[in-house]
Amino acid sequence: MLSFALGIGTQNTQGDWLEIYYPAPLLHPDAGLVEAAGKVLDAPAGNAAVSFVPEQCGDLAAALKAAGQPEQAELAESLAASKRPLVAMFLENDLPPQSAPEVYLKLHLLSHRLVKPHGLDLTGMFGLLRNVAWTSEGPIDIEELPARRLRARLEGRSLSVDCVDKFPKMTDYVVPTGVRIADTARVRLGAHLGEGTTVMHEGFVNFNAGSEGPGMIEGRISAGVMVGKGSDLGGGCSTMGTLSGGGNIVIKVGEGCLIGANAGIGIPLGDRCTVEAGLYITAGAKVTLLDDQGQEVKTVAARELAGQDDLLLRRNSQNGRIECLTNKSAIALNEALHAND
């Protein structure tokens, strides 16, 4: 079994799932736990999202306790007080998801650091998620928003809509240890933030993307992009993800790299690379290679430099050409700045 989780969620008036919160998802759970839960909930074989009611929580908790799973048993007991729909997600194999509960479990696994980006199959996930109004009163189906807003006003409340999106912010579901996030709305559920990661106010981290940590994120980490240890993404910089023009190329940033303010990359970087502020490197950009004496060697497409270590990429201020030479120094991050205890 790949994963198992007990969750509490929100549905619209038609019974469609809007979101699911899994307090304690498990990766490669004990076989006895899965068998005990499956028996009580009459779960089918394979990947299955099984809805259950609070009245079943007592039997579920007893079965989990007998299977030697006290923490999951305690969680099951607490769910007995729920006034919202409950679901148990049995994920036997990593296949393209077939339901919103399955998508939400995979997003939780990423943000809980149980799986790294590109470690799970998320094919077709967008079609399974509804566009939701994330409000001061929780998630609301877009079509039901006018009626909910009117009801709130009639009852003397002001309903505030924070955003309209398929994804919620990560910190409403998971807050990893050892991180700082200046603006929580800019980190989506499904982001993977390693210990020591700092996301400043203008930083953004998409789902299935993130930082190994420690690292300073003042720019954009697009979907599918992973940033290595000790790297710094300067203010306003961008990494091109596979959803925004990168095609099938997996964009990543190696260890000890610096992408300057308002710069960007459309190729993966190896370790100890620097991209000058304001310089955007796309895969087809022509780059002039320089030797140790600063003499021109040849001109190549930037894609030929993909994944190579110790590169300094800059724009010549006199002739405007993009140049590349060996970067002899790595970026040294301030250890005190990244101690997010």
Catalytic residues: 218
Q: Give the side-chain half-sphere CA count within 13 A for 44.
A: 6
Tell me: is residue 220 an annotated ligand-binding position.
Answer: yes
Tell me: is residue 49 an annotated ligand-binding position.
Answer: no
Tell me: is residue 78 an annotated ligand-binding position.
Answer: no
Tell me: is residue 160 an annotated ligand-binding position.
Answer: no
How far apart, in Å, are the Cα atoms of 32 and each of 28, 35, 39, 65?
12, 5, 11, 11
CA angle 50, 168, 20 (to 5 degrees): 15
Tell me: is residue 314 an annotated ligand-binding position.
Answer: yes
Tell me: is residue 316 an annotated ligand-binding position.
Answer: yes
Tell me: is residue 153 an annotated ligand-binding position.
Answer: no
Tell me: is residue 284 an annotated ligand-binding position.
Answer: yes
Instruction: Give helix 57-66 / helix 70-78 axis angle, nearest 10°.
Output: 170
Please state the residue numbers annotated as binding site for succinyl-CoA.
220, 235, 238, 261, 276-277, 284, 314-317
Please state the residue numbers annotated as binding site.
202, 220, 235, 238, 261, 276-277, 284, 314-317
Please state the residue numbers annotated as binding site for Mg(2+).
202
